[in-house]
Structure 1
């Protein structure tokens, strides 16, 4: 699998929403709030997500879980929008580690969040600022926008 590309997300991306997480107990709220930000409505009991929002919510949960378990708090999740993309950006404050794909770990040993992100998104990368390490993933906007407009 190799390593992740080191680069920031597209520079024209505009922030739509931000969440600050300090524990795994906040992940359920993140999923619901992220779904609402993507589709414009709350997820009803038993309702299935459309493909792109479902992928974004799944990757957000995986990356946020990794950041909460292995990074330094707080974990920040941002949803960005570019011309034809949604970009998910998850940051923590541990600058001592580099994101690595866990392709050598046995199944069930954990650490597969980055592989899921690569499988479900168009592109994945990472970058560091003075105080934070970010992992981002991009997704097509078209289907998610249509889902929000048809309900």
Structure 2
């Protein structure tokens, strides 16, 4: 991971390319449990029986990270919010967008864990790459999750 990523600032760069798989447009935090269930079902349906056990932990991390990014967008971004799961050649790409195009993700690396608000740090710790960009009046926060 680059020093930029470890400094508490998210890199300002476009996400890698990927094939769109699933998407959502939540308006309320109360919609997140349904999105988590739908994503879990979709991931299981997309996995072969032989790979299901190996992929279970990866899928749970993917669901956790999508939930965290959507939650952040709904709490700190500006509507409309959208979440997208893409597949790359070797990993999963999560992209969450909102209309707060000029407001970057702002993790606080010195924050006391007892005060909460550690979601972006968790996303950074559990992924192989992450960043954000803006275009067309939208901010796109993204993270890449690769198999272990």
Matched with 1:51 is 57
Asked if 2 retains the 8 angstrom alpha-carbon contact of 1:124 and 1:136, the reply is yes
Write the mapping of 1:1-151 to structure 2, written as runs, cut at 5 A. 1-2=6-7, 3-11=9-17, 13-40=18-45, 50-140=56-146
- How far residue 37 of structure 1 moved from its aligned partner, in angstroms, is 2.1
Q: In the aligned structure 2, how far is the partner of 1:35 from the partner of 1:103?
A: 30
- TM-score for both structures, normalised by structure 1: 0.82
In structure 2, distance between residues paired with 1:37 and 1:8: 26
Moved over 3 A (4+): none
Structure 1: 5+ residue stretches without partners: 42-47, 144-151
- How far is 1:8 from its partner? 1.5
Other-structure match for 1:45: none
Q: Judge conservation of contact 1:126–1:136 (CA < 8 Å) in 2.
A: yes
TM-score (normalizing by structure 2) = 0.83
